[in-house]
Structure 1
Amino acid sequence: MKLTVKKYKEQVIEWPKSGCHIMAQYDDEKIIVYQAYRKEIGEFAVNNQYFGGQFSLSRMTWIKPNFLWMMYRSGWGTKEGQEVSLAIHLKISAFRNYLLNAVYTSYDQTEGISHDEWRSELENSSIRLQWDPDHDPNGVKQERKAIQIGLKDNFIKSFAQDDILFIEDISQFVKEQYEFVKNGQLENLSTPAEKSFVFDDEMLNRKLKIITEYAHGQ
């Protein structure tokens, strides 16, 4: 497994407790995002290192850079159709491009534009953006917000074929760590090492409501 992992208990004391944060594992070249699929789609992606086969290019796909938020959504890989957990090593340039072109799914999260302007942008955008409450390993809602990004049309095609550096199946790791969660042994739980990501672009950070005091990214 190419992911760098660290004890959850060591990480959680360093993570911001509230506000909008892109919690992720990243370097100068890539950022890790997560998805969960049924076996046919997940195995095709890992074996071919791109998304194809039964993967739909006509439906919006959502990516999540926060591991525990993905685990909350997939039930630690136990929900039907989400049994295969994938760690996708995504080009940092593609991630930035997605967010530059993203429109909030809810008008309540936008600032500085009218409802009609937001509606027009939403209808003409191929990328959706929303902040949702983050969750701890047991699924308890946190004050900190986690980001998810929805892609469709040309962006989903670019994501599926061109924007990915590496796809790995982390289902066994997820299964092993879930045993610690179920048994109340969080002291043994390891999760991908994550820290707050920000862009070297203040306008983009403001659009995303990111608090920039924690880290610097791309």
Structure 2
Amino acid sequence: MMYRCGWGTKEGQETVLAVEISREGFEWALTHACLSHYEHGLHTDRATWKRQLKRAPSRVQWDPERDLHLRPLAHRSLQLGLTGEAAHLYSDEWTVSIADITPLARSVHAHVRHGDLDAARRLLPRESPFHVSEEALAHLNLQPAH
């Protein structure tokens, strides 16, 4: 996700932070979330979905993952937006650590610019799937479209 801020080079986005939150907090946010878009067959109707979205303390959408050249990959990642109660819980209870990784982001970007993708990949944080029960998230229809 570091590429979203231009690897720390976009105006107003020059600092890149890695925020670690508790698993419990993330699961709470997912459980209390609403999809950011209307999904026919999942939501009763658009009006009901709009009411749910307005009340939800968090919302989810699927964003395409990208490779180091920003080309779309075959899978998507969950983007989670927080508001109201969820934002307060995030800042007051869920946050475990915050680290300034701006130098890392700029170093990865430099390797990409110079064509050394292996060096760039070695610097990227290790990612792994986040497993949760399907029943707990049925309200989100977490099967992203490709």
- Could you say which TM-score interval applies, normalised by the shorter chain? 0.7 to 0.9
Alignment of 1:115-194 (within 5 A): 115-189=46-120, 190-194=123-127
Tell me, what secondary structure is at the counterpart of 2:42? Answer: coil
2:133 matched to 1:204?
A: no
Q: 1:195 to 1:210 in 2, by over 3 A?
A: farther
| 1:144 CA displacement | 0.8
Q: 1:109 to 1:196 in 2, by over 3 A?
A: farther
| 1:112 CA displacement | 4.8
| 1:119 CA displacement | 1.4
Q: Provide the aligned length of Structure 1 versus Structure 2.
A: 141
| 1:138 CA displacement | 1.5
| 1:125 CA displacement | 1.3
Structure in which a larger fraction of residues adopt strand: 1
- Partner Cα separation in structure 2 for residue 208 and residue 162 of structure 1: 27
**Gapped regions of structure 1 (runs ≥ 5):** 1-69, 212-218
TM-score (norm 1): 0.60
| 1:111 CA displacement | 1.9
Percent sequence identity over matched residues?
Answer: 28
**Letter of the 1:155 counterpart:** A
Structure in which a larger fraction of residues adopt helix: 2
| 1:129 CA displacement | 0.8
- Partner Cα separation in structure 1 for residue 72 and residue 16 of structure 2: 21
**Letter of the 1:148 counterpart:** Q
TM-score (norm 2): 0.87
Counterpart selection for 1:104 from 21, 27, 35:
35
**Gapped regions of structure 2 (runs ≥ 5):** none
CA RMSD of aligned residues (A): 1.9
Partner in structure 1 of residue 10 of structure 2? 79
Partner in structure 1 of residue 24 of structure 2? 93
- Partner Cα separation in structure 2 for residue 138 and residue 108 of structure 1: 31
